[in-house]
Structure 1
């Protein structure tokens, strides 16, 4: 009889679900955290794309290169603030060569926005940040007067 009781106990799987849950729960939590980080980076990337577009458009409306630089920086900063993107480090680079084109010729202005997005508030196992970059080019009206 004791042999039969030992065999039946060995075949009994009571408690195995608790062991499986204990092993799989940290893996599932890590997966959810990584999915949240990927979602946040995708959303921030699209918002930085919009900021680069706003910066290039603002620069293309300026009459001088100095004004274009100023307008692009301001437009990118406002765009990121309005969309709730908090950059630990942000920079805007503007190429204003198109503003030097003579009246009657098409020129372009290119704005590049770089933003470092923090991931520390997601409670990831290895907190950090990611730098996202977006570039957009806008055309300058070929018949509009340009400054010196």
Structure 2
């Protein structure tokens, strides 16, 4: 073999990329797994927000068909708790705020009842067991009070 033939052979061996796909996969795979986990976590948080929205809607509807302030408050709280329980969302702490001023309008006029639900959910319930922290989710919904329904302000 001549010197140029040996040099060409060494250059050809140096240009081969054996194993480069494995190294690229070893670098990219953990990043893709982290991105997938992040997408799943975001989806679970959005789904939990939708469950809080549904609970606020149920509570506002329950309050709007009540005839008294006290009944509206208790019906809204009960409906919110029932809805969250039915959907499997467990709040570490929750509060239900009900604005029943729409029940005070005279018969024949349209009033509204507004319910705001705040629920603090542990991240371990949303994502994976052992994940620290919590997320506070809030939702508000307004329901119309029937204008011709009798009520006792």
What TM-score results when the alignment is normalised by the length of structure 1? 0.86
Are residues 1:111 and 2:111 paired?
Answer: no
Q: Match of 1:86, SS? A: coil
Let me know the Cα RMSD of the aligned residues: 2.2
1:76 is displaced (CA, Å) by 0.6
Residues 113-122 or 58-67, more deviating: 113-122
Give the structure 1 partner of residue 138 of structure 2. 133
Separation of aligned partners in 2, 1:76 and 1:138 = 14
Q: Name stretches of at least 5 consecutive residues in structure 1 with no aligned partner.
A: none
Query: Deviation string for 1:29-61 (max 9, x for gaps)?
Result: 111111101211221222211111100011111
Aligned length: 147
- Unpaired runs of 5+ residues, structure 2, are none
Provide closer, same or farther for how the CA distance between residues 138 and 20 of structure 1 changes in structure 2, counting only shifts above 3 A: same
Looking at structure 2, the residues matched to 132 and 42 of structure 1 have their Cα atoms a distance apart, in angstroms, of: 10
Deviations 1:96-137 (A, max 9, x none): 1011112222211001112223333535xx753322221111
What does residue 91 of structure 2 align with?
A: 87
Offset at 1:4? 4.5
The TM-score normalised by the length of structure 2 is: 0.83
The structure number with the bigger radius of gyration is 2
SS in 1 for 2:149: coil
How far, CA to CA, are the matches of 1:89 and 1:9 in structure 2?
A: 66
Q: Are the aligned partners of 1:106 and 1:142 in contact in 2 as well (CA < 8 Å)? A: yes
Cα distance in 2 for partners of 1:52, 1:115 equals: 11
Aligned residue for 1:22? 26
- 8 Å CA contact retained: 1:37, 1:119: no
